[in-house]
Amino acid sequence: MNDYYADLGVARDASPEDIKRAYRRSARKLHPDVNSSPEAEEQFKKVSQAYDVLSDAEKRRAFDMGSDPYAGAAAGFGQGFSFSDIMDAFFGGQGAGAGGGPRSRRSRGQDALLRLDIDLADAVFGAEKELTVDTAVECGTCHGEGMQPGTSTRTCDVCAGRGEIQQVQRSFLGNVMTSRPCMTCQGFGQLITDPCYECSGDGRVRTRRTLTLKVPAGVDTGTRIQLAGQGEVGHGAGPAGDLYVEVAVRRHPVFQRRGDDLHATIEVPMTAAALGATLAMDTFDGSRDLDIARGTQSGDTITLRGLGVTHLRGGGRGDIVVHTIVHTPTRLDAAQEDLLRSLATMRGEERPQGHVANPSEGTLFGKLRDAFKQPR
C-alpha cells in the first residue's frame, strides 16, 4: 500500500495546514509547466494523489485505518450500520446522507456579514462608503474546476461513478438494503487525481476586494443592507452568496436620535430666558436661529421642523427638538447682587413663599423626565 505521508513528506500527525503547505511546495517544483522531466511528472502525480487523500478528513481516516482509496478496495466500508439505517431502508429511505446519485461539485457560496460604522450625518443624508471584503473568489488557474488545467477527473473505483455505496445487511426485519454516499469520492462519483496547486482542489481562493456601498438616508444602528451575489463564491465556481452589511451609527457629541427626530440640550442664561433672545445653533444643514421666548423655563422645548433624519421609507425628515436648561448664576459680584435684590424688591419677592408643585402642573423635573425617558 502507498505511504501517502512519505510521498508528501509530512509526519503522520501533520496538521491540515502543514499538508497544504507541503503540497504547494512540491507542486511548484514538480508541476509539468516548470519541470518537464518524466521523473518529475510521475512524482507530481504521486504528490497530488497523496494530497487528495490526506487533505480529506474522511479519506485520511480511512487510510490511517488501512484502506487505500486508490487501491480500488472497499475495505473499511459497511461498518457502523445503525438501527436508524434499518428503519430508513424498511420504510423506503436511502439511509442518512444519501443523495440518490452522484453529487454536483458546484454549490452556492455562503453568505457573509460585515459591520460598517458610520457617522450620524451619513444616516441623515446617506453616503457612499468603500468596503474591503476578504472573501472566496473563483480560482483563476483552474476556473473553479479544482484540478490542474489539461487534466481530467477519474471515475471512482469504489462506487463506479454512482456516488453512493449500496449495502445489504441482515436484521430482525430480514435483508435490508441501504445507500450511503461513497466515502472515497465523497459522493461525487469522480476523483480529482491532479488537484490545482493554486487552490488545492477547492476551486476557490481567498482574496481582498473593494466594493462601493450606497448607504441610504435614514439607516440606524442594526439596519442590514443586502448586496446580492457579493458573498463567497461556491464550490466548483458555484453562484456566490449574498453580502449583508450591518450598520452601526457612532455616538454624536450633540444630538441623540429617537426615531427620526434629533434631540439636543441647550443651556440658556437666566437673563436670556427671562427677556428672550435669538441664539445660533449648528445643525447638519448649517447654522439656524433658535428663538428663545420670553419666560422660557428649564425643560421647555423648541422644535426646528424638518431638520432631523430623512425617513428611510418615504419622503420627508424628522425634526430637531431642543431641550432648554435655564442657567442660574452661582457667583455674583456686589453690583450684580444689588441689582438682583432690587429686582426682587420690585417684584415683591424679598421673602418668597415656596410651594410644592403638583406633578400635573409640569415641573422642571417632570419635563426633563418626560423628555428623556424614551430609549435612545
Give the H/E segment covering residue 88.
helix 83-90
- Quick one: pLDDT at residue 358? 61
- Torsion 18-19-24-26 (CA) sign: positive
Number of CB atoms found within 10 A of residue 243's CB: 22
Whether 352 has a pLDDT exceeding 80, the answer reads: no
Q: Which residues contact 46 (CB under 8 A, 6 or more apart)?
A: 2, 7
In the chain, domain spans = 1-76, 104-249, 256-372
The three-class DSSP label of residue 57 is helix
- Quick one: pLDDT at residue 355? 61
What single DSSP character describes residue 358? P
Rounded CA-CA distance 69/188 in Å is: 14
Whether 171 has a pLDDT exceeding 60, the answer reads: no
What single DSSP character describes residue 71? G
pLDDT in tens, 77-125: 333 333 444 444 344 444 433 445 788 888 888 899 999 999 999 999 9
Average pLDDT, the chain: 82
Give me the numbers of helices (H) and strands (E) for the chain, helices first please.
9, 15
pLDDT in tens, 271-324: 999 999 999 999 999 999 999 999 999 999 999 999 999 999 878 999 999 999
- Amino acid in position 346: M
Architecture of domain 256-372: Sandwich (2.60)
Specify the higher pLDDT residue, 175 or 361.
Answer: 175
pTM of the model: 0.61
Report yes or no: 232 and 110 within 8 Å, Cβ to Cβ: yes
Architecture of domain 104-249: Ribbon (2.10)
Rounded CA-CA distance 222/117 in Å is: 11
* DSSP symbols for 230-277: -SPPBGGGBPP--EEEEEEEPPPSS-EEETTEEEEEEEEEHHHHHH-E
Angle at 352 (CA atoms; ends 346, 355), nearest 5 degrees: 140
CATH topology of domain 1-76: Helix Hairpins (1.10.287)
Rounded CA-CA distance 344/327 in Å is: 18
Percentage of the residues of the chain whose pLDDT score is greater than 90: 40
- Quick one: pLDDT at residue 350? 77
- Quick one: pLDDT at residue 341? 86
Specify the higher pLDDT residue, 233 or 374.
Answer: 233
- Quick one: pLDDT at residue 211? 92
Q: Cell for 129? A: 462608503
Specify the higher pLDDT residue, 155 or 44.
Answer: 155
pLDDT in tens, 124-156: 999 999 999 988 999 999 998 999 998 989 999
Helices (H), 91-215: 120-125
